[in-house]
Chains A and B, each alone.
Chain A
Amino acid sequence: MLQLDDLRLRQGDFRLTANWTLAEGDRLALIGPSGAGKSTLLAAIAGFLRPDSGALRWNGADLTAEPPARRPVAMLFQDQNLFPHLSILRNVGLGIRPDLRLNAAQRAQALAALERVGLGGMAERLPGSLSGGQQSRAALARVLVQDRPLLLLDEPFSALGPALRAEMLDLVTALLDETGGTLIMVSHAPEDARRIGGLLSLVDEGHAAAPVPGGEAFANPSPGLRRYLG
């Protein structure tokens, strides 16, 4: 269970508060206007931003002071999710060992992850030679080997077309079904939130609202959500 205990974030003049919990296995879409603080909240959960006050807990353990790599978190950023100078296999391998000293079993694990996301046979290619969709798949393969219970997506698929983006979200959902992982994703598009079929939190006016089931929220939108959906 992820707990945001009266979390207060500040970046320059920007402020954001959040006070809610998320159960293990939940899938949450953060939606809201640009600049509302969706990415800021994700950065705080991932450990790139120290909260002003409040605490962040995972299954009761306080994460607030933990560095990014020691949190139960795998994250995909908006861009730069792969190192362009390293092969796809090495990019995935970094998720297993950051010093890339992989033994045979770990190497096989990375290759299997590539196979699972549909990139079998591309292990030695460089990211620049892959299509946008293939790059996203490679990044997801790394998430798979990282084997962290909490996956954070900061719009990593926003550059892809609608069909491809839907395909990626389906792949993410399928992977989470296998691993039982928890998902928090940032999105501009309400249909993305519908696609993952989980919870919804509106981030607006300095506040990240408590998650509510997406179907309910869309059927009976709050004033803020109605304003956002237009």
Chain B
Amino acid sequence: MAGRAAALAILTFLLVPLGAVFWRAGGGAMPDVHDWAAVRFTLWQAALSAVASTLLAVPVARAVARRRFPGRGALIALMGAPFILPVIVAVIGLIAVYGRGGLVNDLLGLACLPPPGDGRPRCLSVSIYGLHGVVLAHVFFNLPLAVRLILQGWLAIPAERFRLAAHLGAGPGDVQRLLEWPMLRATLPGVVLIVFAICLSSFAVALTLGGGPRATTVELAIYQAFTYDFDLARAAMLSLVQLLLVTGAGLLALRLGRTEGFGAGLDRRIDMLPPGGRALWLGDAAWMTVAALFLLLPLGAVAVRGLSGLAEMPPSVWGATGNSLAIALSATLLTVSVALALALARRGWVDLAGMAPLAASPLVLGTGLFLLINPVARPVDWALVVTLAVNVAMALPFVLRIVLPAAQEVERSYGRLADSLGMRGMARLRWLILPRMRRPLGFAAGLTAALSMGDLGVIALFSDPDKATLPLTVFRLMGAYRTEAAAGAALLLLVLSFGLFLIFDLGGRGAATR
């Protein structure tokens, strides 16, 4: 019942603003050559980003799953980092490492070849702008997400199975064939499509690292149509294109995302036995080191630049921080409750409704809401509420993807026992669902809180100096060339986003007992 009501509310929230945009735009225009270029670029960069992120994630996830070492927990927490890293903060860090005058180009500059005849040294350099920059940023954001999703797949194989395999004398190759490959075959298509769908909607990365006729995504084109020309007809047409692209990917993800259970274990604490052999050990260590450096260097760059900027922050930062915290915590409670209601509804279309926001562009949604509110109230008065609602809708598909398989697994393993004992409603929630789902729920709550905290999207359309969120404040400070203050506020944003994530995720990982 609650699940169906929530599903209807979501569909209404998504469709009514879209209708407002179409109504205001008067039907839409036809795509021109630039729009088709944007479609091609969107698909190509998303495909490259998704495949690269997923393939690189497999060896990293396997290494983390089968090795035990000090700092393993920190590495897992780090894998949650870039996905929840506010985009504006991440871009500052990536430019600091890979941009002009950044760390990588400085290193490449050391290896200049001696000057040939014309007297100019020949140096290698990389540019972070254009297709490869966009893909690099997307891999930075999504590799860790892929690692965590695949790692969950690994951890979902009950430890008893690995013990059984070890007991039967299975080598690493046998374990791969018997346990790991079936898990990967069930997990990977879903992971690729999730990353693909995320990258299809790429806006902030394309805005900062792409742009121009050769590196514009559809989402960026929508934003430009709104902010530069206020051309609603073109924006409406582009949003229809975006809707088709992302709905297609979403439906595909839903189809391929169905995974088989591995049966339940008894919650015994058995560590997965690491395979022997020095070469395998070195390989695992190398994968984890490279992944850690790839993630840590940009974060470190933000921390270093931000520390010196903390003293420069204007007082407006604190009000914005309060707004952002209030939005983030409300969004967390709402999103997790809605996702749980949808997951427990056990109906296909309800599940689909929860994935529907993947097809929505936050910018189109925000503009539609703007058009709806405008006749009856001042839209800026509703800026924070609209931001909250859009944050909930945008986080929901990811949260549902985490919560739904876990809920299905609980039902598959313990549903009959609970039914036979008459555990229904609150009793079932309290004594079966919540304790069995503590870990995925904690992870999902952490993701939502951090995503909402760092979101810079719809709030930008409702600009009002008094109603800013922290990411918008960082953006404004950058725009005003107050680089030091922007870096300081970015560091504050980074600490708050990560702090919220860690509190929820660690809370979920504590043993749920007795």
Binding site for B on A (CB under 8 A): 46-48, 67-70, 73-75, 77, 79-81, 83-87, 90, 94-95, 98-100, 124, 126-128, 146
Distance, CA A157 to CA B220, complexed state (A): 62
Q: Are B266 and A127 in contact (CB under 8 A)?
A: yes
Best-surrounded residue of A67, A70, A84 (most CB of chain B within 10 A): A84
A-B contact pairs, 7 of them (CB 8 A): A67-B419, A69-B420, A77-B417, A83-B436, A85-B512, A86-B435, A98-B428
User: Of B268, B419, B427, B436, which contacts A85 at CB under 8 A?
Assistant: B436
- The yes or no answer to B170 lying at the interface (CB within 8 A) is no
Partner of A84, one of B267, B420, B421: B267
Residues from chain A with Cβ under 8 Å of B417 in the complex = 77, 80-81, 83
**Taking the complex as formed, is B227 at the interface, i.e. its CB lies under 8 A from any CB of chain A?**
no
If A48-B419, A83-B432, A85-B435 are given as contacts, then 6 extra A-B residue pairs at C-beta distance below 8 Å, sorted by A number, are: A85-B512, A87-B513, A87-B514, A90-B514, A99-B431, A100-B427
Give the Cβ gap from B145 to chain A, nearest Cβ, in Å: 27
* Contact between chains at A99 and B414 (CB < 8 Å): no
Say whether A99 contacts B268, CB under 8 Å. Answer: no
Query: Which residues from chain B contact A98 at a C-beta distance below 8 Å?
Result: 421-424, 427-428, 431
B-side interface mostly? helix
A80 to B414, CA, bound (A): 7
Q: Which B residues lie at the A interface, using CB under 8 A?
A: 264, 266-268, 413-414, 416-417, 419-424, 426-428, 430-432, 435-436, 512-514
Query: Which among B420, B431, B432, B435 is the interface contact of A73 at CB below 8 angstroms?
Result: B420
B431 close to A86 (CB less than 8 A): yes
Whether A70 and B422, one on each chain, are in contact in the complex, defined by CB atoms closer than 8 angstroms, is yes
The answer for the CA separation of A79 and B158 in the assembled complex, in Å, is 15
Q: Which residues of A contact B413 (CB under 8 A)?
A: 80
Contacts of A87 in B (CB 8 A): 513-514
8 A-B pairs with the lowest CB-CB distances in the bound complex, closest first = A69-B422, A99-B427, A84-B267, A98-B423, A85-B435, A98-B422, A128-B266, A68-B419
A78 to B135 alpha-carbon distance, docked (Å): 50
Q: Chain B contacts of A73 at CB under 8 A?
A: 420
Greatest chain B CB density within 10 A among A48, A79, A83, A127 is at A83
Closest beta carbon of chain A to B510's beta carbon, Å: 12
Q: Output the residue of B416, B417, B420, B430 with the most chain A CB within 10 A.
A: B420
A90 near B431: Cβ-Cβ < 8 Å: yes
In Å, the complex CA distance between A87 and B512 comes to 11
* Interchain nearest-CB distance for B289 vs A (Å): 35
* Alpha-carbon separation in the docked complex, A90 to B432 (Å): 12
In the complex, are the beta carbons of B420 and A75 less than 8 A apart?
yes
Residue of A46, A80, A127 most packed against chain B (CB within 10 A): A80
Which of B264, B267, B421, B424 meets A94, CB within 8 Å?
Answer: B421
Q: Cβ of B432 and Cβ of A46 under 8 Å apart? A: no
Given known contacts A48-B416, A80-B417, is B267 in contact with A85 (CB within 8 Å)?
yes
B513/A85 in contact, CB under 8 A: yes
**Complex alpha-carbon distance, A80 and B432, angstroms:** 13
**Bound complex: CA A47 to CA B47 (Å):** 48
Tell me which of A77, A94, A95, A100 contacts B416 (CB under 8 A).
A77
Q: Which of B268, B420, B514 contacts A68 (CB 8 A)?
A: B420
Asked if B414 and A83 sit within 8 Å, CB to CB, the answer is yes
Which residues of chain A come closer than 8 Å to B264, judged between CB atoms? 79-80, 84
CB distance from B329 to the nearest CB of A (A): 27
Chain A residue with the shortest CB-CB distance to B268: A128
- Determine the chain B residues whose CB is within 8 A of the CB of A70 once the complex forms: 422
Q: Which residue of A lies closest to B412 (CB)?
A: A80
Q: How far is the CB of A32 from chain B (nearest CB, A)?
A: 22
A94 touches B423 (CB 8 A): yes
Q: How far is the CA of A185 from the CA of B427 in the complex (A)?
A: 29
Q: Which of A47, A85, A95 has the most CB of B within 10 A?
A: A85
Name the residue on A nearest B264 (C-beta). Answer: A80
Q: Are A84 and B266 in contact (CB under 8 A)?
A: yes
Question: How distant is B288 from chain A, measured CB to nearest CB, in Å?
Answer: 30
Contacts of A47 in B (CB 8 A): 419-420
* A124 to B, closest residue via Cβ: B514
Cβ–Cβ contact A100 & B431, under 8 A? yes
Contact of A126 with B514 in the complex, beta carbons under 8 Å: yes
Taking the closest CB of chain A, its distance from the CB of B241, in whole angstroms, is: 43
Closest-by-CB residue of A relative to B266 is: A128
Q: By the criterion CB–CB under 8 Å, are A126 and B421 in contact?
A: no
A109-B214 Cα distance, complex, nearest whole Å: 75
- B24, chain A: closest CB distance, angstroms: 51
A99 and B421 CA atoms in complex are apart in Å by 10
Check B431 against A94 for contact (C-beta < 8 Å): yes
Given the complex of chains A and B, what is the CA–CA distance between A18 and B15 in angstroms?
Answer: 52
Min C-beta distance of A141 to chain B, whole Å: 13
- Distance of A78 from chain B, by nearest CB (Å): 11
- State A94–B430 Cα separation when bound (angstroms): 12
- Please determine whether A95 and B421 come into contact, CB atoms closer than 8 angstroms: yes
Interchain CA distance A94-B424 in the complex, whole Å: 12
CA distance A84 to B514 in the complex (A): 9
Separation of A71 and B224 alpha carbons in the complex (Å): 64
Q: How far is the CA of A47 from the CA of B423 in the complex (A)?
A: 15
CA distance A126 to B266 in the complex (A): 10
| Chain B residues whose CB sits within 8 angstroms of the CB of A126 once the complex forms | 267, 513-514
Report A-chain residues with C-beta under 8 Å of the C-beta of B423.
69, 94, 98-99
Return B332 CB to nearest CB of chain A, in Å: 23
- The docked-state distance in angstroms from the alpha carbon of A69 to that of B428 is 13
Docked Cα-Cα span, A78 to B419, in Å, equals 16
